[in-house]
């Protein structure tokens, strides 16, 4: 299936990049050649973000490795983005 970006998406992306740069945040597409590593970075962010929610069960390394490998064919850059401050991943979309 195909999905078109909503109107204004490109303008929003431009504004977000400009503001992120001022805060020391770098936004980059996921590296499809390092899906296991990217999966572990996403796992760390996800587990930390959800850890205080009732009933939360953190993803294990093995679970995320499996998901990353299964999701790779579905990812179309730049559809998945990772935000970093310095070398530390701090968010993903």
Paired residues of 81 in beta bridges = 29
Per-residue pLDDT at 2 = 58
How much of the chain, in percent, has pLDDT values that exceed 90? 42
Alpha carbon distance 76, 1 (integer Å): 12
Q: What confidence score (pLDDT) does residue 17 get?
A: 73
| Residue 86 vs residue 4, higher pLDDT | 86
Angle between helices 35-50 and 61-71 (to 10 degrees): 120
Query: Distance (Å, rounded) from C-alpha 64 to C-alpha 44?
Result: 10
Classify residue 26 by its DSSP letter.
Answer: E
Cα dist. 78→28, 30, 62 in Å? 8, 7, 25
Q: For residue 83, is pLDDT > 80? A: yes
User: CA-CA distance, 74 to 33, in Å (whole number)?
Assistant: 14
pLDDT of residue 71: 87
Reported as a pLDDT band with limits 50, 70 and 90, residue 60 is very high
For the chain, what are the domain ranges? 9-92
pTM of the model: 0.74
């Amino acid at each position: 299936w195909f999905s078109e970006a909503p109107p204004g998406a490109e303008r929003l992306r431009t504004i977000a990049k400009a503001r992120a740069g001022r805060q020391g945040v770098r936004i980059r597409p996921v590296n499809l050649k390092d899906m296991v590593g990217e999966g572990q970075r996403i796992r760390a962010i996800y587990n930390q973000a959800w850890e205080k929610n009732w009933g939360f069960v953190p993803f294990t390394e093995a679970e995320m490795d499996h998901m990353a490998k299964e999701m790779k064919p579905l990812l179309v850059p730049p559809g998945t983005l990772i935000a970093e401050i310095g070398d530390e991943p701090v968010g993903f979309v």
